[in-house]
Amino acid sequence: MKRNLSSALPTTPPKTDVRPVLSPGDVVEILCTDLIAKTGQAVGRSDGMVVYVLGPVPGERARVKIDIVKAKYAVGDLVELLERSPDRVEPFCAVFGTCGGCQVQHLAYPAQLVWKRGIVENALRRLGGIEGARVGAPVGMANPRAYRNKMALVVDHASPDAAPSFGFYAARTHDIVPIASCPIVMPQLDRAIAGLWDAARDPATTHSFDDARHVIARAGHASGESVLSITTDRASTTLPALGAALAAKLPGTVGVSNSFEPPSENAVMGRRNVTVSGNAAMHEAIGDVNFNVSPASFFQVNSEMVGKIFGYLASQPLAEKRFIDLYCGAGTFALFFAKAGARVVGIEENPSAIREANANAAVNGVGDRTAFMNGRVESVLRSKTGVDALKAADIVFLDPPRKGSDEGTLDALVRAKVPHVWYLSCNPATLARDLAHLLAGGYVLGSVQPFDMFPQTGHIEALAALHRADVAPFSFPTQEA
């Protein structure tokens, strides 16, 4: 006989005196056990409730004043460090903790690498349900500073009676932190910051920044060249006449352009771009691959680390392999594969990046081994040309944006039964999600090798190598600590 459980339940719940474990204004002691990658906040617990606080690093005990209490967590302000970790170091930037660019300058670099390996492992296990993945120790930098080859400054017109200023957004806000220098960007870009402040206060060049929203600069490590783009809502009426004078104030700058018609309020670049002085692109060389890259195109921000990824990929036989490079940008990896003797089809949505990829293929003498297709990846892979390319491919290499790939693209790889998939990701969460999708479609995960593309931040790049269950895997080495 079935029992009617509903009749056994009380009709009125008993009264209980329920209140949050913590309240705003409480001062508690916590042991910090982890960091939040996006914010740099330390994580601890008080009476079972999770507490987030900026300032401590893992292993430190801290006194914290509670500021915000939610149902499942609280946020507090650091009052005092009670026990300091040997992994704590002094931040080297004067605006660390205010500027939103870096999250972990206060954590020693070797400890950053250990922590980032854990981020990848935890994402695979907790978000992807992938147990026992072979994750290498992150490949790091000998000098984890002055590495960024691109910067995007916000132009602040706060005072209509004063020259504009330049800065980065504060963490988790659109408040602007004025920046006089930045120890994370390459030296020529750091010098350009001072040049921009000078140009904005010089009557001969100050109108270069009329109606400017952002200034974007990209530099080449090998060439010392840089190019500058100023973003406005509409085509600038003042910049064309002043571009050459502005470039003269910025050592190494070989070109100035105007980017306009941004697609959204938060967009840094516009839909259209016009060169107003000099060259549209700067020159960079990584290994034996040459690139000419504009500020608008996607190109990895750490040229040294790209070189290390090239070296890692070169440990495998690449000659005569047939690659498809999805989200190929200006052809960074497609050109590397082609220079190694492979045949490559690259697919990219940005038409200017495709133009640069074709031009760079010619510069590198690999035009006969590359073919670049302009369009959304998922759309191209649904076309007959895309389907035929997938069926002929030995390896699909993909390096999608932070949001990851989409199910349609992943399903296309599964349907075509591409023997090998090499997935380079800057977001462990979406990497874990997409890998789980591919594993469910018959792929096997061989190895995951992180690369520290973004020292001093909570971001980490990782390269996952997958293969179909019925083909032999590539034997990628994973770095040990």
Catalytic annotation on 426? yes
Residue with token string 């949050």: 20
Q: Report residue 449 as tokens.
A: 């090798």
Residue with token string 């980490």: 460
C-alpha of 375 from chain center: 22
The kind and range of the H/E element at 430 are: helix 428-440
Kindly write down the DSSP assignment for every residue of 222-281, as one continuous string: TT--EEEEEEESS--SSHHHHHHHHHHTSTTEEEEEEEE--SSTT-SS-SEEEEEEE-S-
Instruction: Name the active-site residue from 93, 99, 182, 426.
Output: 426
**Cα gap 250→255, rounded to integer Å:** 10
| Strand ranges inside 84-185, DSSP E | 150-156, 165-169, 176-178
Q: SS3 for 140?
A: coil
**Cα gap 396→334, rounded to integer Å:** 11
Q: SS3 for 380?
A: helix
Kindly write down the DSSP assignment for every residue of 384-410, as one continuous string: HHHHHHHHH-SEEEE---TT---HHHH
The kind and range of the H/E element at 34 are: strand 34-35
Query: Which residues are catalytic, by number?
Result: 426
